[in-house]
Structure 1
């Protein structure tokens, strides 16, 4: 199941301590998004993926599992074992950390991508932060590369998403589909991403991030 070109993908996630962190609520967000025209959904955790797939069996799901491994910076589906659980939950595309940072059990990026594709039969979206990691992910066989980690790694912590400059460079140097993700706050941002060469666009906080948006507004009243 593939995501159409020039389409909106909605990331339906919530903080662990939020009352929204409930599979049925996440699925309701996903259904509301699809009702308004979203062509794909990005979902974190096996339970959430399973619930969304149950309620939206014909909608492509980009699944991931944010995992904290002590001593490692990678956290988006860092290991093959994590990918297995997400695949079994029903994800059509597995999103992984596409950087060359160290992984638990000494796994290598290329091996992780290969195993997900060959053993699980799933497509891979590599979330990256720099052009070097984008190229490495593409060479390792990723089916999609996303700008997801731009501004969220040590190498890019002084940069603010959306990573339009990275997106533009990726569109010039890569031949695989590029997904714009991270900091897309307005419809105008999404349109700009498509103009810079994005295959499709993921929007999260601007649509489903109630906790973060309320926190930002509330800070103005302090």
Structure 2
């Protein structure tokens, strides 16, 4: 019977700590590895992963946790590094390892995987296969490995991924038996996701025992934030009726200019006019960011509602901006950009929030857990594009500024939104009727949004959304609903600058 035959049962639902300091670094000593092991034990780890027979022997002598032992070698004729030789198996078994892990990938090697497996079992140890894909896992399971590990996923060629391979964990789980998720689980929520994907246990190394790596992560985050603060951004906010250009640094608008949005959006002539906005600012900015009405996906720009702004499909916006201004460029939907501005510097700071803009059109953006949601297709937060149960026109067509003007014209009142709200303040019933109709449509949509996402606040912006009479009537309508369903409305603190500040903060990360 293998040594520590209860290991697999005891391991279920537990954490394994890989005590492997950076090679030749200041923490790379037997004493430090043992100290890491004892600290991990005291914090509740179920097992340890230790490299090197001497380190395994010292850890087993000092700590009562079971050890997964490995030996790393750099071979001249094989890319396999983890326990490639029979002598490594013997040394780890003699040192007291309960489990011996070997590279189980299908790459050329000095000793076949099956021979290593036989040797491990012959020494009374459990065998773990460090694998890179589902086919290797199936082969290892068929051979008789006691544990399948996802250790090598992303490390057998090509660019190393940033995120762990949760799909591989699930594929191993479907094969049955014990599955250890290992590889890039460098945050607690990722380890939890591995368990949800089907792992028996999770092995974490760098985030716990490689001080150099953790320091580098924090250093990069701090220095990156500092660079963002120092970067000057040429920020563009392109709407259905006007375009704002500004120089922004660390949330402060240094200079600005506003012009009507030119005709022929997305044409060469239109881009030339856009470039002219920043001609005298050349050399004075580090990056360019554009917040635009419509859909932005992978740098390409398309219309969501051609009635608001007709954009040629898949206009290469980011590439065009880069070519026009000679600087790194980024783009977001304008409401998503405004959502980020209000989250980072405005009325939704630090909160789970939705931003809704009511102006010529209706747009939205969502920030949850500190992240702007763009969505798989760039649609996240597009409240104005929602339709009723009977397939009615989209909300934007029923409740925006353009919609109110169209409603006014339909009843013989040739009025734009400014005239409509002037008439409202004068008590004219026709204006109250069409504004309240638009508010009813928006209120129903906001109530549905609250039910779906339950944000802490809904920040209301846009030229119409920021009007006191409009917001007051919206609040009055929402007050009729049960408190638990009613969104908490806040006016946008950044006003009409939310989009320009948000896209500047977003683009500054490119500096």
Alignment TM-score, normalising by the size of structure 2: 0.41
Structure with max Cα Rg = 2
Instruction: Indicate the RMSD between aligned Cα atoms, in angstroms.
Output: 1.5
Question: Unaligned regions of 5+ residues in structure 2, if any?
Answer: 225-511
Contact in 2 for aligned 1:148/1:182 (Cα 8 Å): yes
Show structure 1 runs of 4+ deviating over 6 A: none
Match of 2:66 in 1: 60
Q: Deviations over 1:166-197 (max 9, x none)?
A: 1112212x122110011112221111111111
Alignment equivalent of 1:28, drawn from 27, 35, 54: 35
After superposition, residues 115-134 of structure 1 pair within 5 angstroms as: 115-118=119-122, 120-134=123-137
Q: Deviations over 1:134-173 (max 9, x none)?
A: 111111111001010111112x64544411011112212x
Alignment equivalent of 1:112, drawn from 105, 116, 126: 116
Query: SS at 1:133's partner residue?
Result: helix
After superposition, residues 1-222 of structure 1 pair within 5 angstroms as: 1=4, 2-3=7-8, 4=10, 5-56=12-63, 58-104=64-110, 107-118=111-122, 120-154=123-157, 157=159, 159-172=161-174, 174-219=175-220, 221=223
CA distance in structure 2 between the partners assigned to 1:139 and 1:121 by the alignment: 19
Contact in 1 for aligned 2:207/2:213 (Cα 8 Å): no
Contact in 2 for aligned 1:43/1:62 (Cα 8 Å): yes
Deviation at 1:93, TM superposition (A): 0.2
Query: SS at 1:82's partner residue?
Result: helix
Contact in 2 for aligned 1:67/1:77 (Cα 8 Å): yes
Query: SS at 1:15's partner residue?
Result: coil
CA distance in structure 2 between the partners assigned to 1:36 and 1:216 by the alignment: 23
Using CA pairs under 8 Å that are at least 6 residues apart, name the structure with larger relative contact order, 1 or 2.
Answer: 1
Query: SS at 1:94's partner residue?
Result: strand
More strand as a share of residues: 2
Query: SS at 1:151's partner residue?
Result: coil
Question: Unaligned regions of 5+ residues in structure 1, if any?
Answer: none
Q: Deviations over 1:29-75 (max 9, x none)?
A: 1100100110100001111111110101x311000011111020100
Contact in 2 for aligned 1:99/1:137 (Cα 8 Å): no
CA distance in structure 2 between the partners assigned to 1:84 and 1:100 by the alignment: 22
Query: SS at 2:100's partner residue?
Result: strand
CA distance in structure 2 between the partners assigned to 1:218 and 1:200 by the alignment: 30
Query: SS at 2:58's partner residue?
Result: helix
The count of aligned residue pairs is 216
CA distance in structure 1 between the partners assigned to 2:127 and 2:109 by the alignment: 17
CA distance in structure 1 between the partners assigned to 2:159 and 2:147 by the alignment: 23
CA distance in structure 1 between the partners assigned to 2:86 and 2:162 by the alignment: 30
